[in-house]
Chains A and B, each alone.
Chain A
Amino acid sequence: MKSLLKIILWTAIALAGAGALAAIAFERREPLNAVWFVVAALCTYVVAFRFYSKFIAAKVLALDDTRATPAERLEDGHDFVPTSKWVLIGHHFAAIAGPGPLVGPTLAAQFGYLPGTLWIIVGAALGGCVQDFIILFCSIRRDGKSLGQMAREEVSKRGGMIALLAVLAIMIILLAVVALVIVKALKESPWGTFTLAMTIPIALLMGIYLRYVRPGRVLEASLGGVALVMLAVVSGQWVNASPAWSSAFTLSGPALALAIIAYGYAASALPVWLLLAPRDYLSAFIKVGAIAALAIGVIFVRPTLEMPALTRFVDGNGPVFAGKIFPFCFITIACGAISGFHALISSGTTPKMILRESHARTIGYGAMLMESFVGVMAMIAACALQPGVYFAINSPAGIVGKTTEAAAATISGWGYALDPQTMSALAQRVGEHTLLDRTGGAPSLAVGMAQIFSGTIGGERLLSIWYHFAIMFEALFILTVLDAGTRVGRFMVQELGGHVWKPLGKSGSTPGILATSAVMVGAWGYFLWQGVQDPLGGINSLWPLFGISNQLLACVALVVATTILLKMGRARWIWVTLAPMVWLVAITMTASYQKIFSANPRIGFLSQANVLAAQISSGAIPAEKIAVTQRLIFNNRLDAAVTAVLAAMILVLIVEAIGEWIAILSGRKAAVLHESSYVATRWAEGGD
């Protein structure tokens, strides 16, 4: 009787999910309500977790709770700390959830809601969650070793070096692109700039409190910090209204870029307790709170999605970024569906804290499902906007024109009706001078979130405050990624530099810290500056570059996972990691090829460089703009070279891995696993 009820229940959930997915895919008669998306996502997640992750846990990995985890065997109270799975899933989710699952789906909404939504839900269930879960398991079995160490030991020495270089490359491009997102969101926005600027003294205050007044009392310091940040958001409206203050906080794109570069350098070189850590606490609190509020708001308001299922830009001529659905939708949405960066977290602190092997399923697979749901929420918020408004905010001035009238005429010409007054009125309602030319996804997401939040609390009266709250929330945790990423990048540069000149490698050496911080900030700062100067908005070239590098890192993770499964004698199950790996190789290699060689200058870096060079030769560029144009030509060629190097590194790794797989399968080479030895747990079964 009980099992019959279970069968009925799971059949009902599966049918509800399938029905909702079918409605999303095929309903064209009227705009869809967001509830369909929530039902489709949640039912798919529940079924995937219950059946697919259980199959991986039982058959593919054969998780063993009698085996002591590193947290038990190596417990030291610092790195190796046995932690309840419900606490660890919170830590893990806070670590993997960054700006990616919010910005990527917002940008991909230019294709319509259908391609991105399907990729987020299906990609996570079959790819992202599998990667996170299996890499977490592999790291647990290897005393918490990192992805690079596992690649070196299980694939080849070169594999380890490729992983290290890929991580450094992705870090540089990631930091540049997220900084660009902030620049695009805050330029000419005194309210937003003031709010974000205020988070710096608030974080410093929290840092001093946590260091000297009440050491380590994170909760009380964070609650105080959140209250001060909310006060800053509200008082931003008075700054905006005051001519003197407003002009002091109105910064151009280049000025903001320089300020962010200076900030990144300071945050990387200052003691971690003073700025980085308190900002991280503040950002984690606001991030989790805002994401939960968005989920509740979507369910409460149940907005209708105004964006069509597919837009005309599936042809590859989209104004937000150029390129067709395949492969560009799948590299634009990385976090939210599958992200190589997650493999670094899954082989970082989490495996050192896990209590039992079976918890890897909830934490690795489950936390990624939560992140995927964040991606679906972002897609809903972006597609709830009128398509004309969405394109006006996200298209660069170089494509739609600089004035509201020009933008409205261009976008209406695409078939998405837009009244110039609508954009001016919307900007006024959210407390901005203009919302045009705000590429990067953050402002359109903020408008979508503000509409959902104000539909729940405060109505039209609070729209401008909700908008700036959403901007502050996005910018705050982007800055946290910037701080933490620059610092880790600095350690990597120190490690590499130490091989060249020993004093550089000393972690405590002040000249070493200052020099390597400058190298790291200079590297991402260069790409940021390039994006700010780009007449096509920068996002068009930098976000795909980031997507390619992130997905290439996912290829590294899945190559390592497949190799380990083969060595474990699970050849019949390797399709679990091999299928997403083949898909990722196909999309990243196609995207890399198109970004380098496409004849369309909006897609291909080299053809863009050639077009600009031809314009200089023909005298079409005025003399005063020749130097800038030459720099653009150089930047395009540099981007092409970076893409080629990343793709070549991964091809080398894959060729090496395939050689290893063939040698193992043909019996020419013994399958040597580098797992730690089995030690029986001392702890009773069933503990949490």
Chain B
Amino acid sequence: MKIIRNWPRNFWRWIRQVSGDAAYENYLRSTRRIADVAHVDSRTTQAGCCSTHATSSQPLTRSEFYLDALRRRYSTVSRCC
């Protein structure tokens, strides 16, 4: 019953993810997660040198992120025959 009740909301979320509409929210979540992991790593290793994650001080704006994502996507094979 719960699955049926939540179906429209889950479907909408899925559509937003698949279409790329939620890409910026994903990016912000990702940068927060990276910052958290970097913080934990720096505390456990004390030197803070062993994280493989990229860290950036200031996240991109929505507009900057959109352009950056397009540049990345269309510089490699992204569509098949």
Contacts and interface: CB of A to CB of B under 8 A. Distances in A.
Interface of A: 73-79, 81-84, 86-87, 90-91, 94-100, 146, 167, 174, 178, 210-211, 215-220, 222, 272-273, 276-277, 280-281, 284-285, 334-335, 339, 341-342, 344-345, 348-349, 480-481, 484-485, 487-488, 491, 507, 546, 550, 682
A95 B78 contact: yes
A349 B78 contact: yes
Contacts, number: 141
A100 B31 CA distance: 38
Nearest to B71: A272
| Candidate in B14, B16, B52 with the most chain A CB atoms within 10 angstroms | B52
A78 B69 contact: yes
The interface size bin for chain B is 35 or more
A73 B53 CA distance: 7
Contacts of A488: 74-78
Given A81-B30, A210-B66, A218 B20 contact: yes
B60 to A, nearest CB: 9
A294 to B, nearest CB: 19
B22 to A, nearest CB: 9
A464 B52 CA distance: 57
B66 A77 contact: no
Nearest to A484: B79
Given A98-B80, A339-B81, A342-B80, A75 B53 contact: yes
A82 B33 CA distance: 11
| Candidate in B16, B27, B65, B74 with the most chain A CB atoms within 10 angstroms | B74
Contact of B70 (A83, A272, A339): A272
B52 A74 contact: yes
A86 B13 CA distance: 11
Nearest to A77: B30
A480 B76 CA distance: 14
B21 A77 contact: no
B45 interface: no
B18 interface: yes
A206 B18 CA distance: 18
Contact of A285 (B19, B53, B79): B19
Contacts of B68: 78
B40 to A, nearest CB: 9
A74 B79 CA distance: 24
A98 B81 CA distance: 5
26 contacts: A75-B34, A77-B54, A82-B30, A86-B14, A95-B78, A98-B80, A100-B81, A146-B76, A167-B77, A211-B63, A215-B63, A216-B21, A216-B65, A216-B69, A218-B20, A219-B19, A220-B21, A277-B74, A285-B19, A334-B81, A339-B81, A345-B80, A481-B79, A481-B80, A488-B74, A491-B75
A99 B81 contact: yes
A277 to B, nearest CB: 5
Nearest to B79: A484
Given A75-B53, A78-B68, A216 B17 contact: no
Given A91-B18, A99-B81, A348-B77, A74 B71 contact: no
Contact of A277 (B27, B54, B63, B70): B70
B1 to A, nearest CB: 21
Contacts of B73: 277, 349
A293 B18 CA distance: 18
Nearest to B10: A86
B58 to A, nearest CB: 12
Given A83-B17, A216-B21, A345-B80, 20 more contacts: A73-B52, A73-B53, A74-B52, A87-B14, A96-B80, A211-B66, A211-B67, A216-B24, A216-B63, A216-B65, A218-B19, A219-B15, A277-B73, A334-B81, A335-B81, A348-B76, A484-B74, A484-B78, A487-B74, A488-B74
